Amino acid sequence: MNLKDIRRAVADYMRSEGCSCCRASDDHEYYTRVLAKLLRVPIYSDGSGYDFGKFESKKPVREP
């Protein structure tokens, strides 16, 4: 794993997000798995997804 791989995975994931009307759902799921693997994010015990929340900032989100 290197910065180039992480940067590409994040960029691909962000592109897959799109807006609600044009989200690339298959790409979104694929790049979620790619990022989880690169960042060693554990999968939930029930297999429903990845526990990114374990690593999120605990700071409140700023208002615009």
Read off the pLDDT of residues 4-29 as tens digits, 9 standing for 90 and up.
888 788 777 777 777 767 777 788 88
Q: What is the pLDDT of residue 21?
A: 72
* CA-based R_g, the chain, Å: 13
Q: How many residues does the chain have?
A: 64
Task: Flag the least confident range among 16-20, 28-32, 33-37.
Answer: 16-20
For 14, phi then psi, to 5°, come to: -60, -40
Rounded Cα distance between 40 and 15, Å, is 21
In a domain, 20, yes or no: yes
In a domain, 30, yes or no: yes
Q: What is the pLDDT of residue 43?
A: 95
In a domain, 4, yes or no: no
Domains identified in the chain, total number: 1
Work out the average pLDDT over 24-47.
88
Neighbours of 54 (CB within 10 A): 8
Residue 48: which domain range?
Answer: 11-55
In a domain, 1, yes or no: no
Residue appearing with tokens 């990022």:
35
Reported pTM: 0.66
